[in-house]
Structure 1
Amino acid sequence: MKVISENLIKFDGIYNFRDIGGFITNEGRVMKKGILYRSDELSRLTVKDIDVFNQLKIKLICDLRTDQERKSKPSKFLSEQPIEVMNISIQDKSQEFTRFEFFKFLVSKSNSINFETIMKDMYYNMAFVNNSKINEVITLLSKENHLPALIHCTGGKDRTGFISALIQLMVGVPYHNVIEEYLYSNHLIEPKMKKAEKMIRWMSLFQVSSERIKPLLEVRREYLDDIYNEIIKRYGDIETYLCEGCSIKQENLSNLKNILLE
C-alpha cells in the first residue's frame, strides 16, 4: 500500500489521479515512475491544479470516455506545451446513454436491473469485444515521444483501471500488487460516488436502493479477477493475450516494456 499511496498526486478538482509505476516486478526490476498516469475526468481542474498538471510534462492523453461523456464534461486544461489528446472510447455503444435515456432506463427497469451483471458484462466487452481499442492505447504508449502520458475515463476506476492493470501485468508487476492498486480507487472516489449514488437514486425516482446501485459505483476484486482468469484460460499469459487477442505487435510491447522498466 505504501507505493500506491505515494503514487497519489493531489489535486483540488480531481479525485483519482496517480502514477502507475514504482512497483517491483516478478523479475526484480522496477516499473519507472513519471511515465504513465491514470485519472478520473479533467473537467474540474482549478487554476492551481493546472499548475500541478503542467509540472508533469504530459505529452499524450488517452481519453477512454464515450462521445456523450466528453460532451457532458469537457476536459479543462491549459498546457505550456502541446498535448495530443486521443479520444478512444473503450465502452460498448450499447452502454452509451444520454442523461434522459439513462433516466428512462432506470425508471422502466427499476425492478429488474442487476448492476453487478452490467459491470461484469462491461469488463467482458472491454477485454474481448473492444480489444482493438486496447491495441490503440498500448500502441500509442509504446512510442517514446508520446510519454509521459495520462490514461483517464470518467471515474478513473473501471476502463482506466483495467488498462492500467494490463500494462502493469504485462511488465511483470505481481498480480496481488496490481489488484491492490486497482482497488485503491474505492478509497479515492468515495466522495464522488456518494454524489453519484444520490443522483442515480433521484433519477430512478427512488425506486432503486443504495445497496443495488453499489456495484456500479465501486471497483470489486471479482470484476478484475473474473476477466483476468478468463484471459489466462484463453491465452496463458497477458503478453500472449495482448499479441494474439488484441493484435498488438510484439515490437510495440517490447518497446513499452523497455521504456517502463529499469
Structure 2
Amino acid sequence: MFINENDKGEMAMRIFEKESLYEFDGLYNFRDIGGYKTLNGRTMKTGILFRSDELSRLSQKDLEKINLLNIKSICDLRTLHEQKSKPSRIKTEQGIKLINVSIQDKSQEFTHLEFFRFLVSKASTIDFRKIMKDMYYNMAFVSHVQINKVITLLSEQNNVPALIHCTSGKDRTGFISAVIQLFVGVPYQTVLNDYLLSNDLIAPRMKKVERFIRWMSLFQVSPDRIKPMLEVRHEYLDEIYNEIKGKYGSIEDYLCQACDVEQRNLQNLKYLLLE
C-alpha cells in the first residue's frame, strides 16, 4: 500500500503523541480516534472517542489513567461469551456507564475444546482469510441494529467522552472507528492508515495468539495460514467501504438508510466530534 510522505509524517507524530499520553500496563491497542483534518478543513476533536482492546488486564495504575480521561461510557462490542471469559476491570460503581452491544465474531464463540476440535478436524481446509472477510461483511451488512445502537449512544452528550472496545481492538472496533471517522469527513486514506496502526500495536499479543492456535491445531496450521486472522489488512476495509459506497453513495446515507440512524443523532454526533 502506498502512503505519501505527508501521511507518514502525520501518522508518526500521532503515534508518538499517543504513546506518550496513553501508555498502559494491560492494554496494547488503546488510542484516540480524533485529531485528523476532514475533507472540508475542520478537525475531528481529540479527547472525545477512544478505542481499545479488552479491559480485563488493567493494572491499578491503568485504572487511574482511564479516570483522568473523564470517560463517561464504555461500549463493549464483544459477545457474551467473551465478556464472561474476560470480564472488564472497570465496574459500573466507578461511575462509568457500561453498554454491551455484541457484534458477533464466530471465532470468539468457541470454547477451547470446541476450537481444538474445529482446528484438528479442518486443519487442511480452513481459510482464515475468508473467515475474516465474512466477518467484515457481517459487520457492515448484517449488524445494522448494533451499529445503530453504537452511533445513537455516542450521539448523546452525556455519554461522551466514550471508549469503544472489543477483544483485540482491531476488527470490530476498527470497523466502527473507521465508520465514525469517515462519517465526519476524515479522508479515506487517513482512516485506512489509522486502521492499519493496529498491526504495530498488537503485534506482541498476536504472536502469543499465533502460538496458541498452532498448539491447538497440533501444529497442523502454519503461521502463514493463521496470519490473516491476526492482523488487519487494507483489503478488509477496502472491500466493505467500496460496497457501502456502491450501495448507498456515502457513509452518512449508509447510516441513515441501512442502519436506520435518525438524522438528529447524526447531526448531534457531528456537533460533538468536529471543531
Residue 186 (1) aligns with residue 199 (2): yes
Residue 200 (1) aligns with residue 209 (2): no
Counterpart secondary structure, 1:61 = strand
Give the counterpart of 1:53 among 66, 85, 95.
Answer: 66
Check 1:53–1:214 CA distance in 2 against 1; reply closer, same or farther (3 A cut): same
Q: Which amino acid aligns with 1:243?
A: C
Q: Which amino acid aligns with 1:199?
A: F
Q: Which amino acid aligns with 1:214?
A: K
Take 1:58 and 1:81, find their aligned partners in 2: how far apart are those partners?
A: 11
Check 1:33–1:224 CA distance in 2 against 1; reply closer, same or farther (3 A cut): same
**How does the TM-score come out when normalised to structure 2?**
0.92
| Kept in 2: contact 1:54–1:80 (CA 8 A) | no
Instruction: Give the CA deviation at 1:96.
Output: 2.1
Residue 3 (1) aligns with residue 14 (2): yes
**How does the TM-score come out when normalised to structure 1?**
0.97
**Count of aligned pairs between the two proteins:** 262
Correspondences of 1:233-252 after superposition (within 5 Å): 233-252=246-265
Instruction: Give the CA deviation at 1:110.
Output: 0.5
Q: Which amino acid aligns with 2:189?
A: H
| Kept in 2: contact 1:142–1:255 (CA 8 A) | yes
Take 1:247 and 1:92, find their aligned partners in 2: how far apart are those partners?
A: 22
Instruction: Give the CA deviation at 1:106.
Output: 0.7
Take 2:120 and 2:100, find their aligned partners in 1: how far apart are those partners?
A: 31
Q: Which amino acid aligns with 2:236?
A: Y
Instruction: Give the CA deviation at 1:98.
Output: 1.7
Instruction: Give the CA deviation at 1:3.
Output: 2.7
Instruction: Give the CA deviation at 1:100.
Output: 1.6
Check 1:226–1:200 CA distance in 2 against 1; reply closer, same or farther (3 A cut): same
Correspondences of 1:55-74 after superposition (within 5 Å): 55-74=68-87
Check 1:4–1:231 CA distance in 2 against 1; reply closer, same or farther (3 A cut): farther
Segments of 4+ moved more than 4 angstroms:
78-81, 92-95
Q: Which amino acid aligns with 2:27?
A: I
Q: Which amino acid aligns with 1:3?
A: R
Residue 152 (1) aligns with residue 129 (2): no
Correspondences of 1:19-168 after superposition (within 5 Å): 19-77=32-90, 81-91=94-104, 96-168=109-181
User: Runs of 5+ in structure 1 lacking a partner?
Assistant: none
Show CA shifts across 1:196-237 (max 9, x none): 000000001111110000000000000000000000000001
Residue 170 (1) aligns with residue 180 (2): no
Counterpart secondary structure, 1:137 = helix
Identity of aligned residues (%): 66
Residue 216 (1) aligns with residue 229 (2): yes
Instruction: Give the CA deviation at 1:102.
Output: 1.3
Residue 258 (1) aligns with residue 271 (2): yes
Instruction: Give the CA deviation at 1:6.
Output: 2.2
Instruction: Give the CA deviation at 1:95.
Output: 6.2
| Kept in 1: contact 2:49–2:160 (CA 8 A) | yes
Take 1:33 and 1:257, find their aligned partners in 2: how far apart are those partners?
A: 13
